[in-house]
Amino acid sequence: MARQVRRAFKYRFYPTEEQAAELSRTFGCVRLVYNKALEERTLAWYGERRRVSYVQSSAALAQWKKTPGLAFLSEVPCVPLQQALRHLQTAFANFFAKRAAYPRFKSRKRSRASAEYTRSAFTWREGRLTLAKMTAPLDIRWSRPLPQGAEPTTVTVSRDSAGRWFVSLLCQDTITAAPATGAAVGIDAGIASLVTLSTGEKITNPQHERRDCARLAKAQRDLSRKAPGSANREKARRKVARVHARIADRRRDFLHKLSTRLVRENQTVVIEDLAVANLLKNHRLARAISDVAWRELRRMLEYKCAWYGRDLVVVDRWFPSSKLCGTCGTVRARLPLDVREWTCGCGAVHDRDVNAARNILAAGLAVTACGDGVRPQRDTSRTGHSSAKQETQRATTGISRL
């Protein structure tokens, strides 16, 4: 079965000096409009308890362009500025719905420099992309082809901290569901092993950051010795950013390959609902937890399962997967982290991680068998995952039968 999804294709491009200057001005104006609109909304909300709509912010933007101090806003394309206001509107909608924290101001140094162009602000002709206010198309490196006959509806241009330029093209794509299979897998996330599967396989942690630790330390030492505000300091900062970018790229590539393999081989994927933000409070393990990127792996599994017609079941974070004996169902009172293998009273010897993965799989299958709307809905508008929080007891009692 095929389905239509909106999919972003990201490519690197190399702008000319004129294009780089134009895009840099646009990035600055987008950030300024976002921050100024956020400031006015904040004053209205905390001072008068009054909400400012997108229409009102858009009208205010028109007035800002007429003031002498902000007349330069008219020199850049208007669509990215309007899109910044729409993004702010979405941020406030999420805040009022209690789905997110209060919107924050964009920093020139720390925030991602980007601008979004809708269909009226760019030209797509014969596979060449030309943005508004530009005379020449972007020099894009087409690392992979776009879907046959697809045309971008939204274009997002960005520049990362390492100075690399990227363009993301949002297109309509047709994705065919993967062939059905009866296989199911439980996944236990870890640090020594990135993940342990219920089949007994352990995926080794690549430790991308540790492999580049010496290079990163040297680049950071060089940066600390440069005078603030100097050109040499900016060069040293770029060098540090390139090392971080290399680590992030390798980590992302590994997680994509791992998540794609798991989705292709299994009809049902069961994972734990880990509270990564709370785990990062352990300062002894925070760096290692950040390096394994459990949340990014879950995000990839969510949308890939939704795309390819797989079931993703999320087991409650309080489910005692490691302390539960998969043979007799006994739950140990304590199991310190340094205990990697333990023996149950029934005589069963368990590898801590393999036992946890098998218990996670059994709990997920029990939850799925119980029904009650727990099976995730696979569609293109929402991610295909479900929480097993309400089914923990039934899943626990059903483990010995599975």
Catalytic residue among 22, 316, 353, 391: 353
Q: Is 272 considered catalytic here? A: yes
Residue with tokens 């609109």: 37
Phi-psi region of 207 (alpha: psi -120 to 50; beta: other; left: phi over 0): left
**Which sign, positive or negative, has the C-alpha torsion 319, 325, 329, 335?**
negative
CA distance to 105, 106, 319, per residue, from 41 (Å)? 12, 15, 43
Catalytic residue among 22, 116, 188, 311: 188
C-alpha closest to that of 45 among 3, 106, 88, 84 = 88
Q: Is 353 considered catalytic here? A: yes
Q: Is 311 considered catalytic here? A: no
Contact 95, 88 (CB under 8 A): no
Q: Do strands 154-159 and 140-141 pair parallel, antiparallel, or not at all (unpaired)? A: unpaired
CA distance to 58, 63, 76, 117, 396, per residue, from 121 (Å)? 17, 21, 11, 6, 55
CA distance to 194, 298, 349, per residue, from 47 (Å)? 49, 40, 64
Catalytic residue among 22, 272, 302, 311: 272
**What does the alpha-carbon distance between residue 314 and residue 279 come to, in Å, rounded to a whole number?**
18
Structure tokens at 368: 């799925």
**What does the alpha-carbon distance between residue 330 and residue 333 come to, in Å, rounded to a whole number?**
10
Structure tokens at 259: 């998540």
Our measurement of the distance from residue 279's CA atom to the centroid of its chain's CA atoms, rounded to an integer in Å, reads: 18
Q: Which residues pair with 341 in a beta bridge?
A: 351
- Angle, alpha carbons 29-31-32 (nearest 5°): 60
Residues with a known catalytic role: 188, 272, 353
